[in-house]
């Protein structure tokens, strides 16, 4: 068996030696065919058996787009540009798209470049994945397309930018950077700092975007309130001008203030026992006023406003305006005896003059309708008292005068000046 195999190898070697040229040519031909197939189907993506459909793109300008360039969907290759031709309104590009690709009709066609050197391609960027979809014969209008800014426009804009640069200031910057041998190092440090700043901002990109958005809101608000801020600044300028004009008075106040405060301190120190008693009395007054706050509030209703407002309503249009009510008011009968008006006596006053009528429309601002603290039952006379009880003795005070029968003798009184 081994001898047969050895003889077969010898015969094959002799055959290859005799037909070396033919075998080499056949191997080269196979490699050529395999390479051509790889370039056609792999690199150039030529597949005559794959179904395709054609779409027309209306462009305002070519943007450097040429026939044979790629067509992508969000960056993924899906077809080729078949032709680019002129039209009455711009440029019309015809593209061939793989038949199994579905592109929403609500899309934007953008001419982009892989690098600044060129290599343009057409990219579809739909805003949704829902239908309807593009089909064979579909047309995308120019208002739904985007093309790169032409180089001429960029150069024109750069010309305006360069024209705004002051040559003298630019020369100063150059001189500052080259003031010594460390000039290149300074420029390098500036560039390194810029790169570091950009990389840092890139690391906190979401926060940077939020900062820019919030700054836009704040700056917009400041722009909207610009007139108000200007008016505020003007008013503050006037106030500060008045303060500046009164600087001498402030200095005098500061100079004399310590002496006045010392005098006040001495007064407080000399009258501390009296002031302690005064504070105690004020505490009692404050407690009584606190529990009767509703009654005090009722004296000044909200709908009346301030006293000055009430006076302003009465005194207006060159006259004094009043309102009169000709209808009689329902009054309360206290049920107490009435003295004849012809008798010249001065009886002591009644101690318990309470209205017996509980109707709230009677004496709206009387003692019965006044708000009271919880548990206060002083709206009526105390239990078990005689409503006709008079004061005994007659209350007197520092300013009281005697009230004998017939009245006091007033002939010796000196009239006030």
- The answer on 280 and 300 residing in a single domain is no
Q: Is residue 72 part of a domain?
A: yes
- The answer on 98 and 76 residing in a single domain is yes
- Is the pLDDT at 72 greater than 70, yes or no? yes
pLDDT of residue 414: 63
- The answer on 358 and 307 residing in a single domain is yes
- The answer on 300 and 283 residing in a single domain is no
d(CA 212, CA 218): 10
Mean pLDDT, residues 217-235 taken together: 84
Residue 344 corresponds to which tokens in the numbers above?
Answer: 């010249």
Q: Is residue 401 part of a domain?
A: no
Which has more pLDDT, 18 or 206?
A: 206
Domain range for residue 146? 52-154
pLDDT of residue 285: 86
Q: Is residue 391 part of a domain?
A: no
Closest CA to 90 of 126, 155, 141: 141
- The answer on 280 and 336 residing in a single domain is no
Number of domains the chain contains: 5
Q: Is residue 325 part of a domain?
A: no
- The answer on 114 and 83 residing in a single domain is yes
pLDDT of residue 96: 86
- The answer on 64 and 128 residing in a single domain is yes
- The answer on 128 and 115 residing in a single domain is yes
d(CA 40, CA 33): 10
∠ CA 357-358-364, nearest 5°, is 95
Q: Which helix (H) or strand (E) holds 77?
A: strand 76-86
Q: Is residue 393 part of a domain?
A: no
- The answer on 26 and 12 residing in a single domain is yes
- The answer on 349 and 305 residing in a single domain is yes
Q: Is residue 239 part of a domain?
A: no
Provide φ and ψ at 153, rounded to 5°: -65, -40
Dihedral, 47, 48, 50, 53 alpha carbons, nearest 10: 110
- Is the pLDDT at 281 greater than 80, yes or no? yes
Q: Is residue 99 part of a domain?
A: yes
- The answer on 281 and 264 residing in a single domain is yes
> 308-329: string of b/e by CB count within 10 Å (b at 16+)?
eeeeeeeeeeeeeeeeeeeeee
Do residues 110 and 123 lie in contact, with contact meaning Cβ atoms separated by under 8 Å? yes
pLDDT > 70 fraction of the chain, expressed in percent and rounded: 84
Show Cβ contacts of residue 353 under 8 Å, excluding neighbours closer than 6 positions: 334, 336
Closest CA to 73 of 107, 40, 118: 107
Decide which of 154, 187, 208 is a domain's last residue: 154
Q: Is residue 362 part of a domain?
A: yes
Instruction: Compute how many other C-beta atoms are within 10 angstroms of the C-beta atom of residue 107.
Output: 20
- The answer on 108 and 88 residing in a single domain is yes
Per-residue confidence band for 42, with pLDDT thresholds at 50, 70 and 90: low
């Amino acid at each position: 068996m081994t001898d047969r195999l050895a003889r077969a190898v010898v015969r094959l070697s002799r055959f290859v030696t005799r037909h070396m040229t033919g075998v080499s040519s056949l191997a080269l031909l196979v490699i050529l065919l395999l390479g051509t197939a790889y370039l056609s189907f792999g690199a150039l993506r030529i597949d005559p058996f794959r179904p395709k459909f054609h779409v027309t793109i209306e462009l305002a300008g070519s943007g450097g787009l040429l026939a044979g360039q790629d067509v992508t969907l969000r960056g993924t290759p899906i077809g080729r540009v078949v032709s680019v031709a002129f039209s009455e309104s711009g440029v019309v590009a015809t593209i061939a798209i793989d038949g199994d690709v579905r592109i929403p009709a609500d899309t934007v066609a953008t001419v982009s470049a892989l690098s600044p050197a060129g290599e343009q391609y057409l990219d579809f960027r739909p805003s949704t994945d829902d239908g309807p979809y593009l089909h064979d014969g579909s047309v995308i209008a120019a208002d739904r397309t985007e093309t790169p800014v032409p180089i001429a426009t960029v150069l024109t804009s750069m010309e305006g930018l360069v024209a705004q640069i002051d040559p003298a200031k630019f020369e100063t910057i150059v001189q500052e950077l080259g003031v010594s041998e460390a000039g290149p190092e300074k420029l390098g440090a500036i560039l390194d700092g810029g790169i570091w700043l950009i990389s840092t901002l890139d690391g906190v990109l979401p926060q940077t975007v939020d900062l820019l958005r919030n700054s836009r809101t704040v700056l917009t608000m400041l722009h909207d309130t610009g007139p108000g801020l200007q008016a505020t600044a003007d008013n503050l300028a006037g106030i500060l001008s008045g303060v500046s004009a009164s600087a001498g008075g402030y200095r005098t106040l500061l100079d004399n203030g310590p002496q006045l405060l010392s005098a006040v301190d001495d007064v407080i120190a000399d009258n501390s026992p009296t002031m302690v008693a005064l504070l105690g009395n004020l505490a009692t007054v404050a407690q009584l006023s606190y529990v009767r706050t509703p009654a005090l509030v009722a004296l000044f209703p909200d709908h009346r406003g301030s006293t000055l407002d009430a006076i302003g309503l009465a005194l207006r249009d060159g006259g004094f305006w009043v309102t009169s009510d000709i209808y009689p008011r329902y009054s309360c009968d206290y049920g107490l005896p009435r003295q004849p008006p012809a008798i010249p006596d001065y009886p002591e006053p009644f101690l318990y003059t309470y209205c017996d009528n509980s109707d709230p429309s009677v004496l709206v601002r009387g003692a019965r309708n006044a708000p009271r603290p919880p548990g206060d039952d002083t709206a009526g006379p105390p239990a078990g008292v005689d409503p006709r009880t008079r004061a005994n003795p007659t209350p007197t005070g520092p300013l009281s005068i005697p009230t004998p029968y017939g009245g006091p003798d007033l002939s010796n009184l000196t009239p006030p000046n």
